[in-house]
Amino acid sequence: MKSYLSCCFFDNDDDLAESALANVQQEATLLIFNALHNCSVSLETTWKKLPEDFRKLCATELEQNCVQFGVRLDECRDQWAANWIFQTKWGNMHRYRKRKRVNSLIQVSCLLLICFQYRLGTIQEPLE
């Protein structure tokens, strides 16, 4: 994506493109957090299973908000760039949430196992 931005929007200036991409990604993150707070969506849902009108709204908002960074995503056919950025960002957040939930379940399971072993008398004291 950085190469695309550099070539199409910043006259092959990779530093400007990298800075703009960071701003675009931060904007996408903010829009996702805003959507999670204000809409009935959850990171439990994959990007492809979200309603199409919601995905289109996200892409349109990102296109509008990124003009201030000199990135005209609205010039891309069928919102491909905005959709790609959102799909990637949403996917990363979805996988992180899923992994975090699994790790939490593992910790709870280990704690329950220790408590169970303590009650059975197979260990003398619960570990701290």
Per-residue pLDDT tens digits for 7-63: 566 656 667 767 777 888 888 888 888 888 787 788 888 888 888 988 999 899 999
* pLDDT score of 118: 62
* pLDDT score of 56: 92
Cβ count near 52 (within 10 Å): 8
What mean pLDDT comes out for the span 54-77? Answer: 88
* pLDDT score of 24: 84
Q: Are 41 and 30 in contact (CB under 8 A)?
A: no
* pLDDT score of 66: 87
Q: Are 19 and 80 in contact (CB under 8 A)?
A: no
Report residue 78's pLDDT band, with 50, 70 and 90 as the boundaries.
very high
Higher pLDDT, 74 or 69: 74
Tell me the one-letter amino acid at 59: A
* pLDDT score of 120: 67
Rounded to an integer, what distance in angstroms lies between the CA atom of residue 28 and that of residue 87? 10
* pLDDT score of 64: 93
Q: Is the pLDDT of residue 108 over 70?
A: no
Closest CA to 57 of 91, 77, 31, 92: 31
Which whole-number Å values give the CA distances from 118 to 61, 104, 113, 121, in the listed order?
55, 21, 9, 5
- Kindly give the residue spans of alpha helices, DSSP state H, lying in the chain: 2-9, 14-38, 52-66, 80-120
* pLDDT score of 1: 64
What mean pLDDT comes out for the span 72-85? Answer: 89
